[in-house]
A = this chain, B = another copy of it.
Amino acid sequence: MQKKEHILIIGAGLCGSLLALRLAQHGYQIDLVEKRPDLRKEDVSAGRSINLAFSDRGIKGINLVGLENKVKELCIPMYGRMLHDREGNTQLSKYSGRENEYINSISRGGLNALLLDEVEQFKNVKLHFKLSCQDVDLEKTKAVFKDENNNEIHFQANAIFGTDGAGSVVRKSMMQQRDFLFSFSQNFLTHGYKELSFPATAENNYAAEKGALHIWPRGENMLIALPNLDKTFTVTLFLAYEGGDYNFNNLTNPEIVKEYFEKEYPDALALMPNLEKEYFENPTAPLGTVRCSPWTYNNALIMGDAAHAIVPFYGQGMNASFEDVVEFDQYLVDSNFNLAEAFQQFSKNRKKDADGIADLALDNFHEMKSHTAKEIFLEKRKLEIAFETEFPKEYASKYSLVTFREDVSYAEALRKGRAQDHAILRLLKNNHLKQEASLQEQLLQVQQETHIILEEQELL
Contacts and interface: CB of A to CB of B under 8 A. Distances in A.
A421 interface: yes
A422 B460 contact: yes
Interface string A236-254: 0000010000000000000
Contacts of A181: 188, 241, 286, 288
Contacts of A186: 182-185
Nearest to A418: B460
B188 A185 contact: no
A291 to B, nearest CB: 8
Interface string A445-460: 0000000000010011
A425 interface: yes
A187 interface: yes
A187 B183 CA distance: 4
A429 interface: yes
A426 interface: yes
Contacts of A288: 181
A425 B459 contact: yes
Contact of A185 (B187, B425, B460): B187
When all copies of this chain in the complex are counted, the total is 2
A456 B418 CA distance: 13
A426 B456 CA distance: 7
A281 to B, nearest CB: 18
A265 B193 CA distance: 57
Interface string A174-215: 000000011111111000000000000000000000000000
B183 A459 contact: no
Which of A181, A183, A288 has most chain B Cβ within 10 Å?
A: A181
A58 to B, nearest CB: 28
A184 B183 contact: no
Interface in A411-460: 418, 421-422, 425-426, 429, 456, 459-460
Nearest to A183: B187
A288 B181 CA distance: 9
Contacts of A456: 422, 426
Nearest to A428: B459
A460 B367 CA distance: 11
Which of A183, A422, A425, A426 has most chain B Cβ within 10 Å?
A: A183
A278 to B, nearest CB: 22
A266 B459 CA distance: 32
A291 B188 CA distance: 13
A188 B183 CA distance: 6
Contacts of A182: 186, 188
The list of the 8 closest CB pairs from A to B, nearest first, reads: A185-B185, A181-B188, A183-B187, A183-B188, A181-B286, A425-B459, A184-B186, A422-B460
Given A181-B241, A185-B186, A426-B456, 7 more contacts: A183-B185, A183-B187, A183-B188, A184-B185, A185-B187, A422-B460, A425-B459
28 contacts: A181-B188, A181-B241, A181-B286, A181-B288, A182-B186, A182-B188, A183-B185, A183-B186, A183-B187, A183-B188, A184-B184, A184-B185, A184-B186, A184-B187, A185-B185, A185-B186, A185-B187, A185-B291, A418-B460, A421-B460, A422-B456, A422-B459, A422-B460, A425-B459, A425-B460, A426-B456, A426-B459, A429-B459
